[in-house]
Structure 1
């Protein structure tokens, strides 16, 4: 098994990784880091959320950036403000012991653009951005991308599913005359992603693919309970009350489902709130502050709204409704069992959905234990 030193990571970064309990490289880190450090290349990494992608591209990027040069040298484009904030925070933590500081700034919708323009007047080497906000800043000539050497598209398929393809095309076209490399990370490679690869990336772009079976955290226990839809609210209520000393996230497939479930549980005097696409930025931040400070026991979320959530010490994740996509199951489950802790991933399954459990076991190489509540 390789370590970060063998992969070529500097000791001052490794010191920060040790402090974060990141000691053994994941599959994508082992495969990507040496390539990104040594070869000036376009790169395609096909991997699910939860595989350690941020470190896979973040560590090489931090070593390649020139701290003496005050201009933006790299852009990381991602689908949501939460993921953008998380990436920026993670990169900041990686640089704790770096002697010459590298400055990272995150820009996204939901915050006044003038405030972000003001911050960008300070030295910034790495810019983390959502597509729409980056376009806004470019149109205002508030960012200068002439010195950009690397553009990273993180969760590219998610950005396309959210309708950002025109923005990504515009950004990549805008930087087409610059001698830059594109590092693309995506769970899946649908036709629209293939089009981006064809239009903007070199024919000899280096590609790696992480198998689903290499993704799942072995510290997560997977269980399922069979129940009719009408019984789910009472069953969930019982579970939460039986685990009143523990905190977790409950996942629904739709905004309406998350809102309805939150109302049902609040009526039972449980400490829950929901986050979803209709929630304004201020309200969303208020809910997240309450959850992180442990004033809430349970957060009810949709898959998209949970992108970028990073809350420590979550004991469980509940799939109140099974997701449609395999990578969403991985992403959901990965909210628990972090930093060396153990966690539970519990699925509420209708009798007609049992074949989905079998499919998940086969695809992800995991075992589900059937339980009753």
Structure 2
């Protein structure tokens, strides 16, 4: 392995990296750093997780000098907010022994803090295209003095439709500058972009030709699973031997929210990152995952390229990705920094055609995923799950009706003790004019009607039951008097209209 000192990196930067245990360079860094230090334009192509950030970050920091003048001199453009935060953290680490300041510019956060950092003289700006153009159009971000420009994950920016924004950003920077472009894949549009805005770039491809399309240090396991059993299977995989931090990808935001709730209910320590969360919530979840406070991160593809954590042991595709590129980016969250990893993919019956395309493109040689259930013996042997493992770490919450057990029928539970699904017996009391029926009357014995001479009960008005002629109601109140409407819409004190003359 080659050290950063041997590549010509300044001692203070080497010392800052060594403080975090980063001493040896990866292949992309070995090939990129010496050329970038000389100001050579570079197109760097390497798989995600191979150290591209330091490959372009260390040279641009060193080329700025030990104590650069205030003002934006370096612009690093990234496709997603999560990746913006990650790249900023790496550059802040490398500049920790220098006066150089780094600021992250991205949407979903308040403008004030970002604007203050720019006004304070930050020299390196890392940002997403939308917010960069927003601040530039308001003349709050001056790109006229940019000396170094980097496009990171250029193919992802193409997928997200940022190509017009990238061209506008290039137009706001000086024509003479040092430019580097990094991408995992090189579509024709990206190559054309490089030719337009770069000067005689050198194409560096840091891959092993014998490695194939997928990383050799990642074990790929593909199962055909039933949607109703999938959560149970995942819960058992999360108890595999040696399982560390785990990233679970879902297709939709709703599925991510549902799964994080389910796993937490089962006793696991999970967080979620998806589009329905605001930026602060997403950043807190990501920070908790990186710090180890949460060991399971459930995410949609929006976060796929911003999860740069070296100790992720498992990646689980709750739903199969749409294409082989997305699969590689998801699986690339594990097996980073030379470590091994496991990628587990669930294929629903309706998605077998998607797996056929991915299998063919990535040359897996597994056209039919293995049908798998939570009780399948091969699940335990494939993933080193201890025998007898169940998908729950803590007992299920007590049933809400358990508190009512033992009560006699009709016995009413206290208000705070009744479950939401229990109905207490209800007695209805009719009212008339806002007054409960029978109000002001004596007890039941005094309400009994007196008998007449003929033996028939004598009922006072308003005290008897309905007699069948509409005079009295069963609740003991007098029947309402029928009203007649006068012809022409007027009433005369409740009297009937006068009969016409003969």
Shared fold per TM-score greater than 0.5: yes
Instruction: Find 1:208's aligned residue among 204, 212, 217.
Output: 204
Mean Cα deviation higher: 297-306 or 45-54: 297-306
| SS of residue in 2 equivalent to 1:227 | strand
Instruction: Find 2:344's aligned residue among 343, 346, 352.
Output: 346
Distance across 2 between alignment mates of 1:339 and 1:30: 14
- Residue 24 of structure 1 aligns with which residue? 24
| 2:156 is the counterpart of 1:158 | yes
Contact 2:304 2:333 in 1 (8 A): no
Contact 2:73 2:124 in 1 (8 A): yes
- Residue 132 of structure 2 aligns with which residue? 134
- Residue 366 of structure 1 aligns with which residue? none
Contact 2:248 2:316 in 1 (8 A): yes
Mean Cα deviation higher: 257-266 or 9-18: 257-266
Contact 1:108 1:129 in 2 (8 A): yes
- Residue 12 of structure 1 aligns with which residue? 12
Distance across 1 between alignment mates of 2:295 and 2:189: 40
Distance across 2 between alignment mates of 1:41 and 1:342: 34
- Residue 179 of structure 1 aligns with which residue? 176
Instruction: Find 1:262's aligned residue among 260, 263, 272.
Output: 260
Distance 1:246 1:117, change over 3 A: same
Matches within 5 A, 1:1-373: 1-38=1-38, 40-66=39-65, 67-96=67-96, 98=97, 100-175=98-173, 177-202=174-199, 204-211=200-207, 213=211, 220-230=217-227, 231-241=229-239, 246-266=244-264, 268=266, 270-292=268-290, 294-311=292-309, 313-336=311-334, 343-348=341-346, 352=352, 353=355, 356=358, 360=362, 371=382
In our comparison, the structure showing a higher alpha carbon Rg is 2
Name stretches of at least 5 consecutive residues in structure 2 with no aligned partner: 366-377, 386-502
Which has the bigger relative contact order, CA under 8 A and spacing at least 6?
A: 1
Distance 1:294 1:5, change over 3 A: closer
Residue correspondences, number = 362
TM-score (norm 1): 0.84
Contact 2:308 2:333 in 1 (8 A): yes
Higher helix share: 1
Cα deviation, residue 288, structure 1: 3.0
Cα deviation, residue 347, structure 1: 3.4
Contact 1:187 1:327 in 2 (8 A): no
Mean Cα deviation higher: 316-325 or 133-142: 316-325
Name stretches of at least 5 consecutive residues in structure 1 with no aligned partner: 364-368
State the superposition RMSD in angstroms.
3.1
Distance 1:192 1:224, change over 3 A: same
